Structure 1
Amino acid sequence: MKILTCPMNGPRNIDEFQSFGPVRETLDPAVTADADWSRHLFRAENRKGVVVEWWRHVPSNYFFLAERDLVSNEIIRTFDASQRSGQS
């Protein structure tokens, strides 16, 4: 059984969580072309390394961030979104 540590609820079975994908930069709709929006919405990066992702603890509906190594699938740390400092 894989355990994921929720910043609010502590260590829990990973079956209690839902992943919402990587944190991405916000595009300015006033200056962004349609092609840029298409790329932003429908093209996924397929890279190696560490990524910051959105996760949700389903029973409590608590959203938080997790740093995960894409090669080993190891979750390095989890933290509240308010602790995010200028990452995209």
Structure 2
Amino acid sequence: MQLIECPWCGSREETEFHYGGQAHVAYPENPADLSDEEWAHYVFFRSNPKGTFAERWYHSAGCRRWFNALRDTATYRFHGVYRPDEQKPALP
């Protein structure tokens, strides 16, 4: 079982968390002006790189808070976690 570091609760088993997608995706400035195709692009199209990637995670069985993590998508290794109000750390 892999341990994931929650910024508020510390290390916990991975079964306590849920993946929330790509981090740092800005909400559209004028959502009412978007076409259906633009909305679809905002909702469904995300980066899917091989390597270190900034993601959102939810501690569903703990503090029930969202946080961001830098994780390698090829090895599943977490390189760091940070709160949403903190700056993204430098990539390793």
Q: TM bucket by the smaller chain?
A: 0.7 to 0.9
Aligned to 2:64: 61
* AA in 2 matched with 1:20: G
Q: After the TM superposition, which of the residue ranges 27-36 and 4-13 deviates more from structure 2? A: 27-36
Distance 1:37 1:67, change over 3 A: same
Aligned to 2:4: 4
1-side partners of 2:42 and 2:67: how far apart?
22
Percent identical:
27
What are the ranges of 5 or more consecutive residues in structure 1 without an aligned counterpart? Answer: none
Q: After the TM superposition, which of the residue ranges 65-74 and 39-48 deviates more from structure 2? A: 39-48
1:43-54 maps to which residues of 2 (within 5 A)? 43-54=45-56
Coordinate RMSD, CA, aligned: 1.8
1-side partners of 2:34 and 2:9: how far apart?
39
What are the ranges of 5 or more consecutive residues in structure 2 without an aligned counterpart? Answer: none
| TM-score w.r.t. length of structure 2 | 0.77
The alpha carbon displacement at 1:40 in A equals 1.6
1-side partners of 2:64 and 2:56: how far apart?
12
Specify the SS of the correspondent of 2:41: helix
Say which of 20, 34, 37 aligns to 1:35. 37
